[in-house]
Structures are given as structure tokens and as C-alpha cells.
Structure 1
Amino acid sequence: MTSAPPMRVAIVSHAHPSVSKGGAEIAAYTLFRGLQDLGVPSLFIAAVPQAALDRVSLASADEHVLPYDPAQFDHVLLLGRPAMSTALVRLLRDQNASVINFHHYLNFGIGAVRQVKAQTGLPVVFTLHEYLAICAHHGQMITRPARNLCEAASPEACAACFPEHGREGMTTRRDLMFDVLSRCDGFVSPSRFLIDRYVAWGLPAEKFSLIENGLIDTAPPPERAPRSADDPITFAYFGQINPFKGVDVLLNAVDSLAARPDLAGRFRVRIHGNVIGVTPAFEQRLARAIETYDFLEVPGPYDNRQVRRLMSAADYVMVPSTWWENSPVVIQEAYAARRPVICSGIGGMAEKVVDGVTGHHFRVGDAKDLARVMEGAIKEAGRPERQAALARPSSHAEMAKEYLSCLNGASTPEPSPTPSKKAPIHRQDEVSQAMNQKFKSSRRRVGNVVR
């Protein structure tokens, strides 16, 4: 008798971290590294824009990229080119994958998940990093154009945000997302909050596993010289500077603190990150603040390998996001650097930061309340004893061990027949194609539609 071949895990990511630094692709790659260090056969497959192929840096022969054209992606129905699905299925077969862990459907398209499941018959576990299947507004669950928090999706609420598609169009979108995801064998989420949202949306709770994102480097941060009573408190922001990250709220709080003579010289603010998708008005607002306040620094983008050192130089890490964050990796990075967090008191942020213990909450979007919390932090001078309460983040290997339990437990359905080489998969599956046609008939033309 011959033994069964070892598990070979395929991790599918919508981006490669050498090109894009978002939380989902970093979490996917961290898992890949963890599996590799545990000796588990695995491969990492990332979608990369054709124009960015020369920027990709692959660290091993087990990393693969599939190029795509961003113009050929429908961001409403999340449909990519059928050729992406074909290439993905072929690569999974060529690499003898035995279980698939998707970390996104962006760039590949939601149809790729269905295609992989139907054509390989392999177990598929999907890691959910945000609410894109539920919400067409960038998966933020924020209304448009008012940008208020959305408590729950419904055909009526979604149609109010997207009147150009109407109730029927948004119902069609929901049906497509739910039909594909319901075929998955399991789901992983790094926050209980996200699980609750998807269960309320209709996915079965018993298919979910709660696994926190890990970090590749969890070594203790460099020692910092003891602070004196006269040292200013440093508040530091890390991450993308986009319309949902609350940097505008932080700047408004800075305005309030700067108007206080009793706080002059007692604090500093650093904003680390790249500016993406903001309005010209915000860019002007940021430029004015830099020019006005000598205590405000905006160093710009940073290499993620430097984040531990940069955070260690601060007293508090700021996470002022105005949407329901799932599990921002910056919180795990802050804890690894032994720094408390000041965050909006909603979603996965409130779940990860214990108010008054590992940091502080403030009312989401409320600059006055944020200024109040920052003032309290200034007056308590950082409270170094708080560091003892900070949770130690999981390592990449610990994260991988938890995933292995989930992947091993995924039920394996009956395999589908292998298609003939003379009849390769050229098109989207018939259900996705029919959904697309139904959706197009109920909406005005928006962007590029996959043919």
C-alpha cells in the first residue's frame, strides 16, 4: 500500500506584497511563510497588474504570479476575465495543490472561486478580510455619498447607496456573491465582528474559524531610553492615508490640541504612509497642517521591515479609521512593538484594543473626543506600566498551525471530472454569466464589463 501524498496548500492572494502593502496580501504571505517554516508543502499565487510585473520580487520557486489588466475587471459584480480563472485552475493542477485557501476575489474575480471549486473538486477555504461580498462600496459598509456607518445590508439599503443599479441589480449582486461563497468548505476570519456580519448575511456560523493574523517578526522591539517627565508624548499613525482611515479626524483633533497653550510642547504627531485616493481638498488640508505645526511630521511611505523600529519611537499608535475595520495588522504590529493603541471604538478595532487597558477608544469620527483621549494620554505621560497588559501577537508559524487545523478539517467533496485538454475552460461559468447579463439589464453602464 502507498501512503497518501502530503497536503499541498495553495494560498491565492489578489496581490503580491512586493508590489502592494495591503493587510490582506500581507496576511496571506505571512501564512505562506509560516507553512513553509513548518515544512508544509505550499505555494503562493498572486494576481499582479501587467504594468507592475517588473516590480515583483519572488523569494522562492513556490511563489507564482498571474498578470491581469485592471481595466478588465468589473468592480461592482467582482467579475474578472475568464482567462484568469483558466490560468489559475491550470496552475493549481500543475502544482498538485490539494487544498485551496483564497484570501480575496479581487483581480481574479468571484467566478474564479466557483471555477476552481467546480473544475478541481478540491476543498476551498476562504479567508475574509473585509465585507466586499456584502457591500459594493469598497467593502466598507459605509453609505454613499454621506459616508455614514451601515449596520446591515439589505436590497433597499444597498439600492439607496447605488440608485443607478436599483433594488433588482443589488439583489442580483448579492445572489451571485452568496451563491459562490456558499460553495466553499470553510471560512476564516481574524475577528469575531466580521464573522457576526457574514453570519447575519446568511453564511453558516459552523463553517467559520476565528484565526488571528500573525506576524513574521515577533522579536522584542529595540530598547528605548527611559523617558523623562519633560519628554513630549508622540502619537504615530501608520498605514495608507485614504478616505476611510480617519487621518482627517486626527488632523482635526490636532487643531484642537494645538489651540491649548497648556499643552504646547507636550506632544508630537507623526503620520507614516502613502496617500491614496484622497480629494485635492484633503491634500491641501494636510499640506497646510504640515506648514502650520512644527510638532507634526509626515515622513511618507515606509518599508514594512522598519515598522517595529518606527513604532518603538512613538508612545501611542493611532488607528482612527471611520469604517468597521476587521483586524488591522497595524494593531498586531503595535503590540509587537509594545505600544498601546488609540482607536475608533467600533468593529474589529474595539475587539482588539481593550479600552483603558491596552489603549483607548474614542467615538468614531469625533475629533473632539479623540482630542480628549489624546489629552488624557499626554497628561498620564504614556503610562509605561501599560505595556505589561499588551497581548503578544501570534507568529507566522503559530498562525499557520491554526490554519492547518482548519484546512485539515475542510470536507472534501466528490471530485469533478477533469476536463479534456481539447476543451479548456474559456468562459465564465453559466450561472455567473447569467447573473452578469441580468445585472446589466437592470443598471446603467458603469466601467468596463467583462466579456
Structure 2
Amino acid sequence: MKIVISVHHFPPDRIGGAELRAFDMAMWLMQMGHEVRVVTVRNLEKDEQSGIRWSDEEYQGIPVRRLTLVLPSNDKLRFVSLYDNPLIEENLRKYLEAFQPDVFHMVSGYLLGAGAVRAAKSLGIPVTITLTDFWFICPRINMLKSDGSISNKDEFNPETCARCLLAEKRRFQLVYSLFSSPGVSELRQWIEHRLVSQKVVDDLAEQVEQRYITLMGVLDSADSLIFPSRYLLSVCKTRGVTPEKMVYIPHGIHTIGEVQRASLTQPPIRVGYLGQVEHHKGVHLLIEAFLKAASAQDMRLSLFGSSSSNQDYQHKIELLARQDDRIELRGGYSISEIPEILSKLDVVVIPSLWNEIGPLVMFEALRSKVPVIASNIPNMSYEIQDGINGLLFEVGNEDALADILSMLAQHPEKLDGMSRNIQPVRTLEQEMEEIQQIYRQKAG
């Protein structure tokens, strides 16, 4: 079969969960004899007029078309172009028409959006979408409000979304830095309502509603929708997505290069974080908890991850890390380095503040017999059995995480016990066999 996979970014430019998922899929399909190509976005630029450039390259034997999107400086036009870009549609239609794939498989939807799906459908190509986040229903992708709380999964409120997006504007940042504690939330809301007129809110709410209508239509137009998360599936079902198109296929992990954790024989305990350095990932929470842990002198914390696009947040992380020489910022890493990194850790922490869609690093850690400490949010709490193969703490509660780290510092033998309890994880082969069956059904 001839298959095109689209994803917002692709290695080696950036490495995140969706990027790794698309790479693993492409490699497996090629090994099975399929002809695979990848379409992705390399850069976003801003100018008076929209534009698009591209280059056709190859990464580890995979043909990759990398797009550079030039977004209009006008706020309203830029907002639309980030989910429904006619230049992407035109570019992809020509690309797909020349290649004539049997299947178009979109991973996530972010950046390539409605235009990419419309291009495939216009040529009669079956479309499969794997939803790896909340992008189709949330402009911020993560269903987190501007105050850090989790949005209501059961309802869509355009005005709430609009105010959330407006809070990202620079004028609101000082307000949030001064009035971030729960006790002054009413005062913060009062100030917010006076920083922006209701007309501005209403205009943006209208744009948000149109986005929602458009992207719900995209999901409805797809031939199949793959959900690696039962929680995300339930959210989309509540929002009215066609149930007959929805299928739950949990993540699988490739077993090539597997290196298992060595038993903890002596201090220090090696604590690690792997992933994006972003606020919603809770990296600051982990560092603050580590600094608070009263008994953590025999611990070391290593943070592996690409620098954040949010330079203010990156600077905050650097300042926090400088407070203790036991904390090390290791920077980005390649896909091939993951097994070796995990082999040198005793425990991995996933302190996310949002409803992760089954983070791949969790499965990678479990595959390597490394216990996981995670926020007690859906998807992660389904996989991590508290006290059995890892530990759970209340999402956003740095004191609870600090207590766990202190406990492990005093009782490091618990990590070996949890490591022995870890059961074999689902493999990439198992996942891809199910996806391949969907391809066959839809491509006829």
C-alpha cells in the first residue's frame, strides 16, 4: 500500500509524543513493505501576506515533505490559517495527486488541519485520523484554562474559550503573575474584564465557534478516528463525534534497542524527566518538589527535553535548576538515545498538569522496567497502579510529590520492588497490526 502520514512536526527537527508516534508508524510500515511518505511543518513565520514554502527531504529512509508556513500578521486571519489553511490544501492536493496514496493518515491535526484532510477527501483518498491531543476541540490543545485549571470536558463555551485565549496576550501576563493564587481569583477576573471590552470577547468567541464547527466537520468527514485514550474518546463522543467511526487502539512501544534498568545498589537515586519543557508538562512543579523534599540529599534529578518555545518559561526552569547542583538540565535527545537514558534512571516522573493522552515516555519507562511517578489524571492513572508499578500524586500538588520523593529517599528498596512488578507493555507490532487492518478495510 501507498500511505501518507501527516504530523505537525517530525524528527529530527522536534521530538514529542506525536512526532515519535508518526516516526514509529512510518518505520514499521516501511519494514512491512509499504511505500510511506510523511508531510510535516518545519517552521512558522509571520508576514503581511500568507505564504508557503517546502522542501522534499529524507530522514532515516523516510521521504519527508517539510513545509514552512508564512502566517498573516492580522490576528483574525492568522487564527483561521492555523486550523484551515487553503495554501496547505492546495499544496497537499498536488502532492497527493502525484503520489496517489491508498490512505492518508493524520496524526494529531495541529498546524496541518482542515486543509490537509480536505485535500485528501477531494481526491477520494480514505482518511484516518489519530487524535493524540485535544486540538480539534481546544485552540490551546491541552484543555487547560488560563488559570491552570482543567476545562469542562462535557460542554463547549465559545466565550470561555475566547477569554482563555485573550489571557495569553502580554497585557494579561502581569495580572496572572501578581494574582495567580486561588484566593484572589475573583479580583483577577474583575481586572481581566476591564482590560478587554465585551465586543472583543464576542468577536473572538465567534471565531472560536467557527473553528469548532469546522473541525467537528473534519472529524465527521474522516473515514476512521483512532483514539489511543479512552478518556479522549469519551470526550469526543460527548461532543457529538460519530461513534461508528471511533476506535480505541492503545499505544504500543517498539522493542528494538530495549535496555532495562539496573537494580538500585547504592545512592544516589537517579530521578529523571523526559519530554517537552513546557508549563503544562509541569516541569517547574517537579523541580520545586525536588527542592522541597526534605530527605532527598541522596537523589539526583536529570531533565531531558528540548528548550521551550516559551523563553520566559525556559528561563524560569533554568533559574530553578540553578538553586541545587543535584539538578541537571541535559537538553534535547534523539529517539535512539531513549533506551540508554532510561537504563541510567531509577524512576521517571511525569508531573503533567493536563490530561495527557497516554504519554509515550510512560510506556517507554515501563518497557524498561523503570517505575513511574505520575499525576493522578486519566490515562496515566489507568496504567500506573499506585504502589505497585509506580506512584501517583494529586495533579498540581508539589507538596504531595515532594513527600513521595522524600519517602523514596528513605526507602529506595521500594523502587526495586515496583520495578519487579511491572508487566510487559503492549508492543508497536500489536498496535500497528490493528491500524493496518483499518487501512485495508477503508482502502478496499
Instruction: With the length of structure 1 as denominator, give the TM-score of the two structures.
Output: 0.80
Provide the residue aligned with 1:27 in structure 2: 21
Superposition pairs of residues 81-120 of structure 1, within 5 angstroms: 81-117=85-121, 119-120=122-123
Provide the residue aligned with 2:395 in structure 1: 364
> Are residues 1:149 and 2:150 paired?
yes
Provide the residue aligned with 1:190 in structure 2: 228
Whole-angstrom distance in 1 between the partners of 2:407 and 2:362: 20
Aligned residues of 1:192 and 1:348 also touching (Cα < 8 A): yes
The 3-state SS of whatever aligns with 1:121 is coil
Provide the residue aligned with 1:45 in structure 2: 39
Provide the residue aligned with 2:67 in structure 1: 67
For 2:129, the aligned partner's letter is F
* Cα gap change, 1:397 to 1:95, in 2 (>3 Å): farther
- How much has 1:79 moved relative to structure 2? 3.5
Aligned residues of 1:234 and 1:314 also touching (Cα < 8 A): yes
For 2:123, the aligned partner's letter is T
Whole-angstrom distance in 2 between the partners of 1:388 and 1:407: 38
Superposition pairs of residues 336-375 of structure 1, within 5 angstroms: 336-375=367-406
* Cα gap change, 1:70 to 1:80, in 2 (>3 Å): farther
Provide the residue aligned with 2:425 in structure 1: 393
Structure 2 gaps of 5+ residues are 46-52, 166-200
* Cα gap change, 1:298 to 1:364, in 2 (>3 Å): same
Superposition pairs of residues 206-217 of structure 1, within 5 angstroms: 206-217=244-255
Aligned residues of 2:89 and 2:118 also touching (Cα < 8 A): no
Question: What number of residue pairs does the alignment pair up?
Answer: 395
Provide the residue aligned with 1:227 in structure 2: 264
Q: RMSD over aligned Cα, in angstroms?
A: 2.6
Aligned residues of 1:236 and 1:314 also touching (Cα < 8 A): yes
* Cα gap change, 1:284 to 1:100, in 2 (>3 Å): closer
Deviations 1:149-181 (A, max 9, x none): 112241253244243645433322211111121
The 3-state SS of whatever aligns with 1:25 is helix
- How much has 1:35 moved relative to structure 2? 1.2
* Cα gap change, 1:380 to 1:151, in 2 (>3 Å): farther
For 1:136, the aligned partner's letter is P
Aligned residues of 2:57 and 2:63 also touching (Cα < 8 A): no
Superposition pairs of residues 271-290 of structure 1, within 5 angstroms: 271-278=303-310, 280=312, 282-290=313-321
Superposition pairs of residues 314-329 of structure 1, within 5 angstroms: 314-329=345-360
- How much has 1:223 moved relative to structure 2? 6.2
Whole-angstrom distance in 1 between the partners of 2:202 and 2:287: 34
Aligned residues of 1:218 and 1:336 also touching (Cα < 8 A): no
The 3-state SS of whatever aligns with 1:199 is helix
The 3-state SS of whatever aligns with 2:353 is coil
Tell which has more relative contact order, 1 or 2 (C-alpha 8 A, sep 6+): 1
- How much has 1:130 moved relative to structure 2? 0.5
* Cα gap change, 1:81 to 1:54, in 2 (>3 Å): closer
* Cα gap change, 1:56 to 1:290, in 2 (>3 Å): farther
Superposition pairs of residues 5-24 of structure 1, within 5 angstroms: 7-24=1-18
Deviations 1:88-140 (A, max 9, x none): 122223222112111133333312212321x2112111111100111112x11
Whole-angstrom distance in 2 between the partners of 1:48 and 1:312: 31
For 1:82, the aligned partner's letter is P
The 3-state SS of whatever aligns with 1:343 is strand
Pick aligned residue for 1:78 from 75, 82, 85? 82
> Are residues 1:125 and 2:161 paired?
no
Larger relative strand fraction: 2
Deviations 1:333-388 (A, max 9, x none): 11122101111111322223222222111111110111122223223314313223
Whole-angstrom distance in 2 between the partners of 1:45 and 1:71: 18
- How much has 1:30 moved relative to structure 2? 0.7
* Cα gap change, 1:178 to 1:411, in 2 (>3 Å): farther
- How much has 1:203 moved relative to structure 2? 0.7
* Cα gap change, 1:358 to 1:140, in 2 (>3 Å): same
Pick aligned residue for 1:179 from 210, 217, 222? 217
* Cα gap change, 1:136 to 1:290, in 2 (>3 Å): closer
Query: Share of identical aligned residues, percent?
Result: 23
* Cα gap change, 1:217 to 1:126, in 2 (>3 Å): same
Aligned residues of 2:92 and 2:119 also touching (Cα < 8 A): no
* Cα gap change, 1:214 to 1:55, in 2 (>3 Å): farther
Aligned residues of 2:108 and 2:131 also touching (Cα < 8 A): yes
